[in-house]
Amino acid sequence: MSLPKDFLWGFATAAYQIEGSVDVDGRGASIWDTFSAIPGKIADGSSGAVACDSYKRTAEDIALLKELGASAYRFSIAWTRIIPLGGRNDPVNQAGIDHYVKFVDDLLDAGITPFITLFHWDLPDALDKRYGGLLNREELPLDFEHYARTMFKAIPKCKHWITFNEPWCSAILGYNAGYFAPGHTSDRTKSAVGDSAREPWIAGHNMLVAHGRAVKAYRDDFKPTQGGEIGITLNGDAVYPWDPEDAEDVAACDRKIEFAISWFADPIYFGKYPDSMLAQLGDRLPTFTDEERALVLGSNDFYGMNHYTANYIKHKTSPPPDDDFLGNLETLFYDKAGNCIGPETQSFWLRPHARGFHDLLVWLSKRYNFPKIYVTENGTSLKGENDLPREKIVEDDFRVQYFDDYVKAMAKARTEQGVDVRGYMAWSLLDNYEWAEGFETRFGVTYVDYANGQTRHPKKSAKSLKPLFDSLIEKE
């Protein structure tokens, strides 16, 4: 098994999770600033106000990337640093643009290829208050296109653009469960606003159209001279039937992926939502206008894949409730025979199962005609890691093993199944602000000492990736 000689590997982060400096150089408030200030929303009551202090430590982070041997770095831009109020008629903040321009220049000078994500969940709060943010079908796509154009123009040196990171999370966790900003849900004990049966599907649709507008803008007005590529990053788990002998469980496995990944990928590759979603959701799933379909269909130069875990899938026989977003099924860690999918981690939803990564890469490749794939996130937390002393945290053999198993599964999928995988970004370069879990969960290959000035201390896993990729990437 091997990876192509021009394979890019490195690490990924997101602006709100690492930057801090939320009131520096003209940055406006995002929905996460607002959400994290609400008591009870974040596990430890924290916010991203300081995080890893990376806005002020770009040189330090680049030096770390270089030390670890990375050839690529995926990061996101904070929309509110560029346009503090978010809209296409609002003032542009030159200080924010200058920061990211210099950061990209410095990355390139260090021999590191930037992958820029335009939207990693931190919508300008002003747009949420002005017109409902992701729920506005008319305004959101136009404002996102304007923001995207501003960045394409400012950073022509970036050749790899990602529009949205994991729109499933923004839609489902933000508008169904209320677990993520802006916290909408039908559960009135958690939120005064929200319709879990309808809003997630509206938000997802609007992000798809906004993605399509940004891609068209890039292809029409920037790609001819800049020569880069643009795509979207989607998240999804691997699936196995709870009872392999039950045809209903087998069918539910495909349905689980369709409700997570194909919800966004099918309109991009086929121009329509999956039949399984149409059958269950009916008119709650928005209908594409001809103009919207034309924008979305074919709007991927590559497929960005975020992947962490796997589940056993058991179908349900009762009719799905209106707020169901899985596809009328259960996700389990044990199958009918009592087999466990993988060991526990700090994250309730994550259990390592590397074969699932291989199998999902193959599933996606077959469904979407073997697209170019960049793995834009992959990684794991460790159970109880945050409770250990630093000298034990940096000896993260569990994470070393995870990366070894998963990267080799990816290489095997490429060599034996023809999966066209071109890059891999481990999540994450740094321990960071883990959204609703605050700072209680660590995903980084680098220990960040939050109590002592955000100092960085590479873990064993940080140093394990270069020799791993050196052993797999073809020399000629």
* Residues 73/96, Cβ–Cβ less than 8 Å: no
Return d(Cα 335, Cα 19) in angstroms, integer.
41
Is 67 one of the annotated active-site residues of the chain?
no
Is 434 one of the annotated active-site residues of the chain?
no
* Residues 366/257, Cβ–Cβ less than 8 Å: no
Token pair of 22 as six digits: 């939320």
Question: Do you know the residue count of the chain?
Answer: 476
- Encode burial over 22-58: b for 16+ CB neighbours within 10 A, e otherwise: beeeebbbbbbbbbbeeeebbeeebbbebbbbbbebb
Give me the catalytic one of 19, 139, 258, 377. 377
Sign of CA dihedral 396, 398, 399, 403: positive
Calculated CA dihedral for residues 161, 162, 163, 168, nearest 10 degrees = 180
306 phi and psi, to 5 degrees?
-105, 130
434 phi and psi, to 5 degrees?
-95, 55
Terminal CA-CA length for the chain: 15
Q: Could you please report the per-residue DSSP string of 65-94?
A: HHHHT-SEEEEE--HHHHSTT-STTSPP-H
CA distances from 194 to 37, 78, 140, 283, 342 (A): 19, 25, 18, 18, 35
Return d(Cα 382, Cα 399) in angstroms, integer.
7
Give me the catalytic one of 145, 166, 434, 437. 166
CB atoms within 10 A of CB 455: 14
Return d(Cα 51, Cα 49) in angstroms, integer.
6
DSSP 286: P
User: Catalytic amino acids?
Assistant: 166, 377
